[in-house]
Amino acid sequence: MGFELDAIDRSLCTLLRADGRRGNTDLARELDVSESLVRKKLKRLIGAEFLRVVAVANPQKLGYEIDVWFGLEVDSASIQSVVAALNSLEAVRFIAVVSGSFGIFFEALFRTQKELYEFLSHTLGTIAGIRSVETWHMLRVDKRNFDWMFSFDEEDSQ
């Protein structure tokens, strides 16, 4: 992490988790500190990559109703190049190098079955190092939580 979180840091994280659009002035007023202190602390939290404030779109509302997870068996020497190739693909939204029978898991979104077919039959086939592909098509998503409730270590919260 690079630095210790104090009570104001923890409070800022909690407040922004509930509403990432809150302004520095509003946050400062609620925490009873100066706006400049809030600005400084947020710059530090974001700069250290401890915190990131982003807008999250709902892919289904934008027409991406086909959500597919992929498991790739890859040559161990090709893992990094396969990850780099996947990173460049617009449809791919999540990539993880994992242990087990697959070397890489990733998630991709598609508007149509045709897009998915083209991705499977043409795009993945051009990536060197992939030995096999297994897919899991999401039929229904019952929980997609972007409001992850983090907690601080017991000693941090005192």
Beta-carbon contacts of 112 under 8 Å, excluding residues fewer than 6 positions away, are: 66
CATH match of 7-47 with 1.10.10.10: yes
CATH class, 60-137 region:
alpha beta
109 pLDDT higher than 70 = yes
Taking the domains of the chain in order of start, what are their residue ranges? Answer: 7-47, 60-137
For residue 26, which of 41, 15, 17 has the smallest C-alpha distance? 15
Measure the CA–CA gap between 103 and 76, rounded to whole angstroms: 8
Beta-carbon contacts of 136 under 8 Å, excluding residues fewer than 6 positions away, are: 68, 69, 70, 71
What tens digit of pLDDT does each residue of 23-79 get?
999 999 999 999 999 999 999 999 998 888 888 888 888 999 999 999 999 999 999
pTM for this model (two decimals) = 0.75
Measure the CA–CA gap between 46 and 44, rounded to whole angstroms: 6
By the 8 A CB rule, do 27 and 18 touch?
Answer: no
By the 8 A CB rule, do 91 and 110 touch?
Answer: yes
**Coil vs helix vs strand at 70:** strand
What tens digit of pLDDT does each residue of 132-145 get?
999 999 998 888 77
